[in-house]
Amino acid sequence: MTIKDYKFAGKKAIVRVDFNVPLDENGKITDDTRIRGALPTLKHILDEGGALIIMSHMGKPKGKVQAKFSLSQIKEAVAEALGRPVQFAEDCAKAQAQAAALKPGEVLLLENLRFYPEEEGKPVGIEKEDPAYESAKKEMKARQKEFAKTLASYADCYVMDAFGTAHRKHASTAVIADYFDADNKMLGFLMEKEVAAVDAILKDIKRPFVAIMGGSKVSSKIGIIENLLGKVDKLILCGGMTYTFAKAHGGEIGGSIVELDKLDVALGVEELAKKNGVELVLAPDAICADSFSNDANKKVFPSNAIPEGWEGLDAGPEAQKNFAKAIKGAKTILWNGPAGVFEFDNFCDGSRAIGNAIAEATAEGAFSLIGGGDSVACVNKFGLADKVSYISTGGGALLEAIEGKVLPGVAAIKGE
């Protein structure tokens, strides 16, 4: 079924969204991209005369109730975004009565699904090495089914619109779909758009295809880096991983972030790039700081000659020029991960240079896809959100989809 074709009038729809928004220390939302992303689906259902049961996770409460991860903190923001009151179910697994009482046009927000370990379906308090682990896992999987069945019982139809968690086979993102027949489950508009954006990158690639991977570590991105080396023409590697590459060649990196056990991985990436004829662009220089703070003293050093007492926190001026040059003329662009500690205003120029270059290439006809919380935050920080082609709400999910994996959240609906 598709969301456009479904008749929501008089029906209750349970919608999995990704409202895992960043909050400041006072519980105030600092970036509402994800809430805005879900609005087309939520408003459509309400406009069509349906009632809404919204479910999401927030943070990593590890199967326990923790006030700092309560979705009650965003209830008012959701109400404001929808332009109508939102009821709240303090226990997502005991919301039968509230769900049953919902009338067309009414909205019920369920408390954080991950307050229950059943949501993720992983046994808690037991190590993988424990001989009892397998039976604990089996038991938890059975409990996960029961939990999903309870959630399913609240509604007539299920809408999956949480792209950010679509790569997880959780109770609310995939297992729940088993309790609805094909005519009563569907992807939401956001999921449809995200899947189409990935298709634009993967199918019929317009070249040159330039990918920019940044962030703190090479280890967490190695899967996608290796995969991209089979697809792109140029790969810019920036951010904290710069120093693992510099170290792998015997460079001096001072106190910069480094993964000493991944030096061979870095060399392997360089080898694979060479073998595949991909131009690898690394930062030759770094803007360094004498402490990890926005107000630290700044000095530029070559990335492989950073003295003790200094650490690289951003791409240097030469690197910024190289990155911009590599991006210019691209026809397909993927950006995931910042070029430095962009959260510090004094160390965000490298990320800004990338953002600006992407905006320029987009104006000249490139398709640019920005994914992952930090690169999205960068684009928003630099006011470039409407100058790129598509901003994905997914980090891990986007990268897995680009690796060509079928996301469980999509498979659960489409039966692939």
Residues at the site binding ligand AMP, with contacts judged by CB under 6 A: 215-217, 220, 239-240, 257, 312-313, 337-338, 340-341, 343, 374
- The answer to whether 321 touches 281, Cβ cutoff 8 Å, is no
In angstroms, give the least distance from the CB of 241 to ligand AMP: 8
| Annotated catalytic residue, options 143, 145, 217, 321 | 217
Q: Quick one: which of 75, 88, 82 has its CA closest to 105? A: 82
Q: What is the dihedral of CA 204, 209, 214, 219, to 10 degrees?
A: 60
Query: Reading across the β-sheet that carries 332-336, which strands appear in turn?
Result: 279-281, 234-237, 209-213, 332-336, 367-370, 390-391
CA distances from 281 to 204, 319, 357 (A): 24, 9, 15
β pairing state of 252-253 and 107-110: unpaired
**Maximal C-alpha separation, the chain:** 68
In angstroms, give the least distance from the CB of 256 to ligand AMP.
Answer: 6
Question: Whose Cβ is closer to ligand AMP: residue 162's or residue 341's?
Answer: 341
In the complex, minimum distance from the CB of residue 223 to ligand AMP, in angstroms, rounded to a whole number: 13
The residue among 3 and 402 lying less far from ligand AMP, judged by its C-beta, is 402
Side-chain half-sphere CA neighbours of 106 within 13 A? 12
Nearer to ligand AMP, 39 or 263 (CB): 263
DSSP for 260-271, written as a single string: GGGHHHHHHHHH
Q: Scan for tokens 């967490």, then name that residue.
A: 220
Distance CA 104, CA 110 (A): 17
Least Å from the CB of residue 253 to ligand AMP: 10
Of 122, 396, 405, 414, which residue is the catalytic one?
396
Q: What are the residue ranges of helices labelled H in 48-167? A: 75-82, 96-100, 117-120, 133-153
Closest contact distance (angstroms) between CB of 185 and ligand AMP is 32
Q: Is-catalytic flag, 217?
A: yes
Residue 45 identity: I
Q: Which is nearer to ligand AMP, 210 or 286 (CB)?
A: 286
Instruction: Give the residue at shortest CB distance from ligand AMP.
Output: 215
Q: Can you say whether the dihedral through the CA atoms of 406, 410, 412, 416 is positive or negative?
A: negative
Nearest CA-CA partner of 151 in 290, 13, 298, 281 = 13
- Of the pair 216, 380, the CB lying nearest ligand AMP is at 216
If the CB atoms of residues 62 and 217 are measured against ligand AMP, the closer one turns out to be: 217
Told to judge if 34 belongs to the known catalytic residues of this protein, a careful annotator would answer yes
Active site residue 16: no
Give the tokens for residue 365. 């006809």
Q: What SS3 state is found at 23? A: strand
Residue 239 or 408 with smaller CB distance to ligand AMP: 239
Strand order of the sheet with strand 285-289? 298-302, 285-289, 311-315
List 12, 34, 247, 381, catalytic entry: 34
Q: How far is the CB of 36 from ligand AMP (least distance, A)?
A: 22
CA dist 146 and 171 (Å) reads: 9
Least distance (Å) between residue 312 CB and ligand AMP: 5
Q: Which residue has the tokens 């899967």?
A: 223
Active-site residue, 12 included: no
Q: Which of residues 16 and 221 has its CB atom nearest to ligand AMP in the complex?
A: 221
Q: Of 373, 394, 395, 409, which one is the catalytic site residue?
A: 373
Least spacing, CB of residue 97 vs ligand AMP, in Å: 41
**Strand (E) or helix (H) holding 41:** helix 33-47
Cite the active site residues. 34, 217, 373, 396
